[in-house]
């Protein structure tokens, strides 16, 4: 718990149909990740060491994350947080 402040969580990443061009998603993600460390230090006063995201494989492949050097570490157990508690929803996501 004491190290969670060094983890940035990517909650939503969406390229709308009108903005879709070849490699747009990975190009924007790459530029964002390059800028993130400096912005994080400015905002929070300490470095970010890890960026995490969760991909729902029933909806998306997560291709832009792989193209942006994210590593797939495994799968969730099918739980989510709701009102500060973990609740089983059965939807396994890739981490």
Domain count, the chain: 1
Residue 28 inside a domain? The answer is yes
- What's the pTM value of the predicted model, to 2 decimals? 0.76
Cα(79)–Cα(81) distance, rounded to whole angstroms?
7
> Which are the contacts of 89, defined by CB distance < 8 A and separation ≥ 6?
78, 79, 80
Residue 33 within a domain: yes
Full residue range of the structural domain in which residue 59 is found: 4-88
- Per DSSP, helices labelled H in 1-95 are 24-44, 63-67
Q: Is residue 81 part of a domain?
A: yes
Max CA distance (Å), the chain: 41
- Condensed to tens digits (0 to 9), the pLDDT of residues 39-78 reads 999 999 999 999 999 999 999 888 888 888 899 999 999 9
């Amino acid at each position: 718990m004491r190290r969670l402040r060094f983890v940035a969580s990517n909650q939503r990443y969406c390229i709308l149909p009108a903005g879709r061009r070849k490699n747009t998603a990975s190009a924007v993600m790459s530029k964002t990740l390059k800028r993130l460390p400096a912005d994080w230090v400015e905002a929070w006063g300490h470095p970010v060491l890890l960026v995490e995201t969760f991909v729902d494989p029933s909806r998306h492949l997560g291709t832009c994350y792989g193209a942006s050097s994210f590593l797939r570490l495994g799968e969730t157990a099918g739980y989510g947080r709701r009102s500060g508690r973990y609740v089983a929803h059965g939807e396994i996501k890739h981490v």
